[in-house]
Amino acid sequence: MKKLIPILSLIMLWCIAPASGQQDADPTAYASTIEEEDFKDLLGIIASDAMEGRETGERGQKMAAAFIRAEFERLGLTPPVDDNGQKSYYQKITLYAAVPAETYLTVDGEKISNFEGMVHVGGAGTREVNDLEVVFGGNGSEEALSGLDAEGKALLVWVNGRREQQAVIERSGELKPAVMLMVPAANDEEFNQLASRYKSYLMNGRLRAEKPEANADGNDSFLIPPSLAAKILGKDLDKVTQAVEDGKLKGFKPEEISFKTSSAIREVETENVLGYMEGTDKKEELVILTAHYDHIGRNGDEINNGADDDGSGTTSIIEIAEAFSKAKEEGNGPRRSILFMTVTGEEKGLLGSGYYASNPVFPLENTIVDLNIDMIGRIDPAHEEDGKYVYLVGSNRLSTELHEISEATNEKYTKLSLDYTYNDENHPDRIYYRSDHWNFAKNNIPIIFYFTGIHEDYHRPTDTADKINYDLLTIRARLVFYTAWELANRNERIVVDVKAEGE
């Protein structure tokens, strides 16, 4: 296990003391309000079947948002968002997706509709092309494509898997085909199963913050079953299969094809949920705590409950907010203001945090740090023998002072094993760029990402509340609380002393 424990952390251990206005406040009294039983109650709701997997923009996500809003209100947090002159806990967001509309292939006079014998997987907008000549590209290898005259024609190839689809498209780019016809399955039954999976994904579309253009980009691709490929090539399937193996096509007289594609724009309404606690003498400066409360919804009748991802982070935000609320109730509110924010659309590409960073409720230049929590309720395979750990990512990327404070806080209060494996800039998983803290880090705001690794139930219906390690979740959440307490109450704002990427 690679650790970064600079000598200064030992010095700072003795320097962490409540700042002016907090002289008599003991944060351990408030940290103790972060309890296992509370987590069990909260996750019993957030990760329940009733929330339907919290798919962005769907009913379950709306229900989760309403629950979090009610918790923020119960804790006395202020609604900070201006919604047409009214204060709200919701930062409303409109997301967009291009989804298929009327789309079909025509072969020998037969119209074959999208998802009913073929799947359109590339291009957007409306495009109609008639009477295209078909060129056979075998298995799509460089050798099979070499010397083909496919410009402005339909290029038909056999492929093996999604990676090979993309590789064939890239290899064929110089041939400039008008459209790609790809056979991705060994038989029609296998193709039909594949088409069903594509339909459930493509009919929802890929959500994005910017409204996509409805113009065709000319990069159309169709997946087709072997039987349709044989029909287009004018031979029985056995002969076509042999031709693929040989890499040669002799005596074939392919049918001309026609096609039409069109798409529609789907709008999805969703929201970040924000609760604000105003500080005392340094209230213009802001500490943000984030976790995403969306998940990936259903797989047919199965619900992806997302207890760890990121029910653990969402409930941690609520519990930490409760600890600060108790402190404020007793006259020990934070010197700096704190924004407790659960964000939407993380699973769709960090969309909720990205929206906040582009449309901040409070100036980004006044935001001193983002502490982001995503999956801290389980033990990964690397720590099966000792689960008292947490991965930290990003603590030293922009501020060495933040890293020192984090180390010293842990040493004083929680004594977790801090694992920096994923903080390695050369780590292939690139975790630093893959959760909501990134939208703050790229705006030169120091961050810490708290994470406990991928486990066998990641993005599966088996990520359920009964598998959470509640004792570990509790102490990890307390570490975030203690760190936020120090950052909110210290005399000086932490210094950004490491150049951001690209500077």
The per-residue pLDDT for 138 is 85
Neighbours of 269 (CB within 10 A): 10
The per-residue pLDDT for 394 is 98
Name the DSSP letter for residue 212: P
| CB of 2 closer than 8 Å to CB of 424 | yes
**Nearest alpha-carbon partner for 137 in 129, 149, 123, 120:** 149
Phi, psi of 199 (to 5 degrees): -60, -45
Q: Which two tokens stand for residue 141?
A: 């290898």
Q: Which two tokens stand for residue 100?
A: 């298929």
**Nearest alpha-carbon partner for 436 in 422, 448, 419, 424:** 448
Q: Which two tokens stand for residue 500?
A: 């951001």
Measure the CA–CA gap between 259 and 113, rounded to whole angstroms: 10
Judge whether 7-96+269-489 and 102-261 match in fold.
Answer: no
**Nearest alpha-carbon partner for 484 in 301, 362, 322:** 322
**How confident is the model over 303-340, as pLDDT tens digits?**
999 999 999 999 999 999 999 999 999 999 999 999 99
| CB of 477 closer than 8 Å to CB of 340 | no
Is the sign of the CA dihedral 105, 111, 117, 119 positive or negative? positive
Give the H/E segment covering residue 44: helix 36-46
The per-residue pLDDT for 234 is 82
Please enumerate in sequence order all residues whose Cβ is within 8 A of that of 21, keeping only pairs 6 or more positions apart, or say none: 280, 281, 335, 489
The per-residue pLDDT for 11 is 37
Name the DSSP letter for residue 485: H
**CATH code for the domain defined by 7-96+269-489:** 3.40.630.10
Q: Which two tokens stand for residue 214?
A: 């409805």
Measure the CA–CA gap between 152 and 131, rounded to whole angstroms: 11
The per-residue pLDDT for 16 is 45
Is the sign of the CA dihedral 230, 235, 237, 241 positive or negative? negative
Residue ranges in the chain modelled with pLDDT below 50: 1-21, 23
The per-residue pLDDT for 20 is 43
CATH architecture of 102-261: 3-Layer(bba) Sandwich (3.50)
The per-residue pLDDT for 122 is 76
Every domain of the chain and the residues it spans: 7-96+269-489, 102-261
Measure the CA–CA gap between 329 and 198, rounded to whole angstroms: 53
The per-residue pLDDT for 458 is 97
Query: By 3-state DSSP, what share of the chain in percent is helix, strand and coil, each rounded to 5?
Result: 35, 25, 40
